[in-house]
Amino acid sequence: MELLRIDCLGKELRLEGSMAGWQQLFWGDTLVSVKQASADNEGLKTHNFELTSQAPHPIQAGEPDAAPLNEEIMTSTKIKISLEIDLMWQPFNIDYRLIKDEVVIAKGSRNSKDIERQIPVKPIQIKKQFSLVGLASLGFKLLKSAKVIKVVLAGASIAAYSWLFSFQFALALIACLMFHEYGHIRAMKHFGMKTKGIYLIPFMGGLALSDEKINTRWQDVVISIMGPSFGLLMSIISLLAYWLTGNVFFAGLAAFNALLNLFNLLPILPLDGGHILKSISFSMNSIMGLGACITGAAIGVYLSYTLGLALLGFLLLIGSLEIVFEWKTRHQSHLLPLDRYGQIFSTLWYFLTVGALVAIIWYLAGSGDDMLGLPLKILQS
């Protein structure tokens, strides 16, 4: 993770580091200082290195091996540079002082907001592996630049859902998907990220795209959960329309939209819920934190089976195991972790959204209408 980037004698001084404790300091593209990984990953640390400056030195008459009067030769001068940092991970804050020959030439501080806005100098390299999913992703990337693809995919989605349900319900479902993806887009724009718009994919939902990478776990949580949050708002609006008009169409829209967004909150990557719970658990830098995450998931599985929500409980268990496997490589992540407040707030936001969506499905299933009871039967199957 890039912690700091400042000017130092005409070149960028860049500090990279991770919660594992290691730090690397670069002057330009040259590695000038390294701190190895250790349990002591916070507090005051100092990086020391030397730079060589070349300066002309005139030769005067009478000096040993004197050349012609006033001829210049180049002499080397050592410049001692120190970078003092005081680092705190949760909540993230770094205070720094840049010292040249015992004179402070720059100082300042950075927090999580600065990390969110930064653009890393060197993108994170991800090892590419051959897979059908990768080929499909590559093909989609080649096509996504054409605006006509959005129209084609939208038309294909309407045709697919009309075949499964009806034309009217297909249009309503497309509206729900667009509203869900718009939640992701709004979150991206909140963080100043450039977006490429929304793409509808038949039988798979939608996709909100951005060319920019996230820098913090908080960005990952907010962008991921804003889709289901907007979806919840859509279900509430549809439920209100049902109460006002008595039209069962709005009730069905509220129930199936709630099911759609509840599915997206399942803790399985790459679904929204997988990103949310992974960001929360990966921000816990202790065994106790991971244990709390597993315990919470186990309680969720127990309640799901007790209430008869078999599918929800089974997928929650699978997602929890995946988080455990991913947790082993948490220190290699370039994302700034959530602080304690962020972990608690994100967890509450997640479970309140899940609870509200389940409540809508449960309420409408109690109406006695077979169609409105179908979402609950899917959860119980």
Q: Which domains, and CATH codes, for the chain?
A: 2-53+77-117 (2.40.128), 215-380 (no CATH)
pLDDT in tens, 172-189: 778 888 888 889 889 988
Distance CA 239, CA 233 (A): 10
Q: Which residue in 295, 293, 317, 296 sits closest to 305, CA to CA? A: 317
120: pLDDT strictly greater than 70 = no
How far, in Å, are 25, 35, 107, 262, 311 from residue 17 at the CA level? 9, 9, 19, 37, 41
What are the strands, taking DSSP E only, across the chain? Answer: 2-8, 11-17, 23-27, 30-35, 43-58, 72-88, 93-100, 103-111, 195-201, 205-210
Number of Cβ within a 10 Å radius of residue 362: 17
118-138 burial by CB neighbour count: b if 16+ within 10 A, else e? beeeeeeeeeeeeeeeeeeee
Is residue 63 helix, strand or coil? coil
Quickly list DSSP for 158-182. Answer: HHHHHHHS-HHHHHHHHHHHHHHHH
For the chain, what percent of residues have pLDDT higher than 70? Answer: 67
Indicate whether 217 pLDDT > 70: yes
pTM of the model: 0.69
Higher-confidence residue: 294 or 40?
Answer: 40
Note the pLDDT of residue 6. 86
Tell me the three state secondary structure of residue 25: strand
Residue (of 232, 300, 237, 306) closest to 264 by Cα position = 232
Query: Could you report the per-residue pLDDT of 309-352, keeping only the tens digit for each?
Result: 666 666 666 666 766 766 666 666 677 888 888 888 999 999 99
Q: Is pLDDT at 353 greater than 80 in this prediction?
A: yes
Q: How far is CA 71 from the centre of its chain?
A: 61
Report the DSSP beta bridge partners of residue 74: 56
User: Is residue 133's pLDDT more than 70?
Assistant: no
| Confidence (pLDDT) at 3 | 84
Query: How far apart (Å, rounded) are the C-alpha atoms in residues 60 and 62?
Result: 6
What number is the average pLDDT over the span 227-232? Answer: 93
Average pLDDT on 142-163 reads 58
Task: Please report, rounded to a whole number, the percentage of residues in the chain having pLDDT higher than 90.
Answer: 12
Q: How far is CA 334 from the centre of its chain?
A: 10
Tokens standing for residue 374: 């179908």
The pLDDT mean for the chain works out to 76
- CA pair distance 194, 208, nearest whole angstrom: 11
pLDDT value at residue 128: 46
Q: How confident is the model at residue 123 (pLDDT cuts 50, 70, 90)?
A: very low
Amino acid at 246: G
Which whole number is the average pLDDT over 118-141? 53
Give residue 159's pLDDT. Answer: 66
Q: How sure is the predictor about 127, in pLDDT bands with cuts at 50, 70 and 90?
A: very low
- Chain centroid to Cα 365, Å, comes to 35
Residue 130 confidence class, pLDDT cut points 50, 70, 90: very low
